[in-house]
Amino acid sequence: MPVRRNILSMPLEEVKRFTAALNVLKDDGTYDAFTRRHMDAMSTATPAGSARNVAHQGPAFLPWHRASLLELENALLAVDPTLEGLPYWMWERESELNGGDPRRSRFWTADYVGSDGAAESGNRVLDGPFASWVALLHEGSTGSFVPRSTPGLVRRLGRDPGGIRTFPDQAQVTEALDRYTVYDAAPWDATVAGFRNRLEGWHGGSRLHNQVHLWVGGDMLPGTSPNDPVFWLHHCNIDRIWWAWQARYGIVYKYQPVSGGPAGHNRSDEMRHLLTPRQVGSVLDIRTLGYRYA
Amino acid sequence: MISRRHYIAGTWAVFSSVAIGTVVQPFSDAEAAGPPPEERFTYRGRRVDIVHQSHGHGVAHAQVRVRVNGRKEIHVHRGGPRNRYVTHALPFTEYSSPQQLARAVIDAEDAELLII
């Protein structure tokens, strides 16, 4: 059974095997297909003409990403069966552990995911295991994907003009877990005061999930955000927080809507733009999915 | 009280605005067949047209289209927690206006994060 652990508590040798497996998936094209599927999901409004899509701004935000994480984890384990599981990045502790400046974390070093982008080099990440990666850009007018003309991921930690300077902390996570006892509610979008919407980061201002995307900046800003592997470590932490909420308030029966919600977001609906289509209800209990968090 | 100097300056500003407005390139014939743009501006070398298309349900239900250089469109929807403007091009925040959204997407294209 995969055990998902805090990447900063893992031995460096295991971190290296994890990033090496990611590089295998990048080289054979498997990884870029994950980026494409995320962008395709982002582009599929439900219903048509809505700001909600099949994976965001609605109840299936958490199940869709849980399913996608599982698919990446399975791909990584197929490359290296000795991996214990997908690691998570416990970002809510980074400010506290680094004197109030999460940019100082060892997470942002060549041993882990590489540094912040170099301002003098177009904010490209010049070191670490993904320094040679070529990002996949989405062309909105045609719906096609085009490799960026030069290698190097783009990051602008806490300094992207299109992003945000503040970073979520433990108090935000605790507040989300303590205060939001309802998973979601009609009209099932970015306006409701439920746990999903709080964790996604719409309710009450830019928070948690959205805030981390916006703070990292660069390639974490567009719908192709899986271009930066930080995406998976971030979403694995989101999934861990959701599981903590589920363990406290209820696993399957707490999920709403059961029916009557937008297509793709009801408990028995099939989620689209995954490697393998799955029903929302099939990913609610991680014990049946065969992994756990340490 | 308006001084003579302020009056002349104001007149010059109005004249300049009209003169600048007339040098903006017109739409092609095909573009002219569509609804007229409600706002046109230039940002980072791109000509941006914001078009509001009402469906008879008031401003809150109006569809907004953002065209760049007359050929490309930026995805935009009314939505988000405050019913502002969102785009799947930059999906993790909302924008107070279509203009702000268009500028952010153009900035992202210049940063090589996406292609409009």
Q: Does the pLDDT value for residue B2 go beyond 70?
A: no
What distance in Å separates the CA atoms of residue A122 and residue A150, rounded to the nearest whole number? 11
Phi and psi dihedrals of B96, rounded to 5? -75, -20
What are A218's two structure tokens?
């660069």
Best A46, A149, A221, A234 residue to mutate vs chain B (most B CBs within 10 Å): A221
Residues contacting residue A187 through CB under 8 Å, at least 6 positions apart: none
CATH of A3-293, one of 1.10.1280.10, 3.40.50.720, 3.30.930.10, 1.20.1300.10: 1.10.1280.10
Contact present, B89 and A140 (Cβ < 8 Å):
yes
Residue A146 has its nearest CB partner, among B73, B75, B115, at B115
**pLDDT value of position A166:** 95
- Predicted confidence (pLDDT) at residue B97 exceeds the cutoff of 90: yes
Q: Which helix (H) or strand (E) holds A162?
A: none
In this complex, is the C-beta atom of A43 within 8 Å of any C-beta atom belonging to chain B? yes
Least confident residue range of A173-177, A185-189, B13-17, B49-53:
B13-17
What is the distance of C-alpha A138 from the center of its chain? 18
Kindly state whether residue B85 falls inside one of the protein's structural domains.
yes
Binning pLDDT at 50, 70 and 90, where does residue B17 land?
Answer: very low
The three-point CA angle A31-A141-A138 to 5° equals 15
Q: Are B85 and B77 in contact (CB under 8 A)?
A: yes
pLDDT means per 10 residues, chain A with 294 residues, are 96 98 98 98 94 97 98 98 97 97 98 98 97 98 96 97 95 96 97 97 91 98 98 98 98 95 98 96 97 98
User: Which chain A residues are Cβ-neighbours of B104 within 8 angstroms?
Assistant: 162
Torsion of CA B1, B7, B11, B13, to 10 degrees: -80
Q: Residue A163 in contact with residue A151, Cβ under 8 Å? A: no
- Chain B nearest-CA distance from A6, in A, is 25
Helix then strand then coil, in percent of chain B rounded to 5, is: 35, 25, 40
Whether B10 maps to a domain, the answer reads no
Task: Assign residue B45 the CATH number of its domain.
Answer: 3.30.1880.10
Task: For residue A225, give the amino acid letter.
Answer: S
Q: Residue B30 has what pLDDT? A: 43
Domain count, chain B: 1
Q: Above 90 in pLDDT, residue B10?
A: no
CA distance A141 to B114: 11
Least confident range of A57-61, A193-197, B76-80, B102-106: B76-80
Does the residue B97 lie in any domain?
yes
**B92 and A213: CB-CB below 8 Å?**
yes
Cis before residue A168, ω within 30 degrees of 0? no
* Nearest-by-Cβ selection for B116 from A51, A141, A210: A141
Q: Pairing between strand A3-4 and A278-279?
A: unpaired
* Distance set, CA A272 to CA A200, A237, A280 (Å): 19, 22, 10
Answer whether residue B11 is part of any domain.
no
pLDDT band at B82 (very low <50, low <70, confident <90, very high): confident
Structure-block tokens of residue A237: 């932490």
Tokens of A141: 């007018």
Q: Within a domain: residue B92?
A: yes
Give domain status of residue B4, yes or no.
Answer: no
Distance of alpha carbon A191 from alpha carbon A120, whole angstroms: 40
**Domain membership flag for residue B18:** no
Please give the helix or strand (H or E) that residue A225 lies within, else none: none
Which tokens belong to A46?
Answer: 């439900």
Provide the percentage of residues in chain B whose pLDDT is more than 90: 51
- Calculate the alpha carbon distances from A292 to A3, A45, A183 in Å: 5, 32, 21
Mean predicted confidence (pLDDT) in B4-23: 42
Query: Residue A208 has what pLDDT?
Result: 97
Give me the pLDDT at residue B34, please: 54
In this structure, are residues A90 and A173 in contact, taking their beta carbons and an 8 Å threshold?
no
Note the helical H segments in chain A: 12-27, 30-42, 61-79, 94-97, 170-179, 195-200, 208-216, 230-249, 286-289
Q: What is the domain range of residue B88?
A: 27-110
